[in-house]
Structure 1
Amino acid sequence: MGFIDTVRDVLAASNASPARGGAGDESAGAYWCHDCDERIRDVDAPGDGTPDCPACGDAMEFERSAASTGCAC
């Protein structure tokens, strides 16, 4: 059963963390401009408010990450 144990260990390690960012990444989602397809992660957004789209200047919309309830995909 060595092969099956190895496959099981590899699968368990690949699913160990649902977070898709770097270690210590506390992102709750991202700001999107759907018209321009621009995305800024909340942890990368400048300032404390809703950022403006760098392409068109309109206010961006916040959406939760796929790791939280309510996917932003």
Structure 2
Amino acid sequence: MARTTLDLDDAVLRELRQRRQREGKPLGVIASELLAHALSEQTSDHPDFAWTSRSMEALVDVTDKDAVWSVLDER
């Protein structure tokens, strides 16, 4: 197992030490398990993207000036 140094927040270190007491495992093992779980939960860097498309019909015949003004007046 590789060794490294991490700077942890006090609250995080307290929680790790509490888990060490409960589970009876070394601190490094608990930290590795939690990190591995957190990293496996990440799906991908890019969220799924769904493009919604549907058929769109013209609301008005743009060549009919009176129809265009009629639609604009309604809004």
Query: Is TM more than 0.5 here?
Result: no
TM-score, normalising length: structure 2:
0.27
The structure number with the bigger radius of gyration is 2
The structure carrying a bigger helix percent of its residues is: 2
The structure carrying a bigger strand percent of its residues is: 1
